[in-house]
Structure formats: C-alpha cells, structure tokens
Amino acid sequence: MKNTIEEIKKNLDALNSRADNMEERISNVEDGNIELLQAEKEREARLKRNEETLRELSDTIRRCNVRIIGIPEGEEKEKGAESLFKEIMAENFPNLVREMDLQVTEANRSPNFINARRPTPRHIVVKLAKVNDKEKILRTARQKKLTYKGTPIRLSADFSAETLQARREWNDIFKNLKDKNLQPRILYPAKISFKYDGENKNFPDKQKLREFI
C-alpha cells in the first residue's frame, strides 16, 4: 500500500509539473499575442498619421486653388482656361475685380483626361498667386448664384481626394441642417459646423453629432 501511495504521489507531482509548464507556455503565448496586438495597433496608428500628413501636405499645395464646377467641356479651348476664369470673375464679381490685383498662376481641367463614363464636365482648377484672393472670391461666391453665359456654375476650394470624400459624407446632414435654417458650414478638413441656440457647434464626426442630438 505504501509503495502504491508513493507511486501515485510521484504521478501527481509529474502531472502538476506538466500543468505548471503548460500554464507557463500558455502565459508566454498570451503575452506574445498581446505584444503582437499592441504592435499592430501602433502600426495602424503610424499608418493613419502618415496618411493624414500626406493629406495635409496635398491640401497645403492646393491652398491657393479655386475649382470651377459646371463649365461645359471645350469652352476653354479657344481662349484658354485662364481667360475663361477672368470672364467668370467679370460677369459675377465686377466690383471685386476692380478692388483686387488678381493674379492667376495657372488654370486647367482636372483630371487631365476625359472619363467617358462621367456625365458631368471636368472641373477647372485655377491656381491664384495669393490665398487671400481665393478666400475673398469664395466668401463672395457663397452670397450669390453664379453663372457663365447664363449657365449656373459653382466655385469651391480645391482639396485632395481624401478630404473631398470626407466632406461629401456630410452632404445629407448638411442639406437637412440647411433646410432647418441652421446655417451649416464644412470646416477644414471635414468638420460640420452650424448655429444652435445662438452658438456655433462644431463636430468632427457623425458619432459626436449623434451624441449631441
């Protein structure tokens, strides 16, 4: 009996030792997984920061640009896009043109190629010499309906594709706020702002807006 008990004890000690080893190995694997998850989160954070930096750089390069939306294809071929922009300015902002020493660095269609699947004309991008001139033009443009030879057109700031997409995601909400006369605006890069109880409210994303509502 004594020998049997000793044998059982040895077997139990061996099992306990194996269990301890197994727990240690599991703990090491779990620690390794935590480290991998942490490394993945850090990599994703760096990637997001890099993407934001590239977007901001791209937007900075465009900070003096104005986009003209709605000009039929080919209108600029005879006189050039720069002359067309000056015609638009003279037609819609005669007083502003007299006040400003407007200097255009370059003007062209964007993108460079025509997409046959796209039903609307390409935008014309005009690069001005001064960012203040762009801001004056856009500020005045928000207060009136613009035309080119009687055809309705729009002027907007020029942003990177990533910023434009982020701003478009507010379109439906922007329209609803405008219908309620809350004076909505899209702030850079893609924040929505509107007046509520006499105060300006700014929201960086839809989740923050939902929490406010």
What is the domain count for the chain? Answer: 3
- Together in a domain, 169 and 99: no
Question: What is the residue type of 103?
Answer: Q
List the domain range (segments joined by +) for residue 40: 1-60
User: Does the pLDDT value for residue 41 go beyond 80?
Assistant: yes
Between the two ends of the chain, the Cα-to-Cα distance in Å is 77
CATH of the domain at 67: 3.30.70.1820
**H or E stretch covering 172:** helix 171-179
pLDDT tens digits for range 160-203: 989 999 999 999 999 999 999 999 999 998 999 999 988 999 99
pLDDT tens digits for range 70-87: 999 999 988 899 999 999
CATH of the domain at 169: 3.30.250.20
- Together in a domain, 200 and 121: no
- Together in a domain, 153 and 194: no
- Together in a domain, 117 and 141: yes
Q: Please give the model's pTM, rounded to 2 decimal places.
A: 0.70
- Together in a domain, 44 and 68: no
| CA dist., res. 162 & res. 147, Å (int) | 28
- Together in a domain, 82 and 127: yes
In the sheet where 185-187 sits, what is the strand order? 185-187, 191-196, 199-203
- Together in a domain, 118 and 183: no
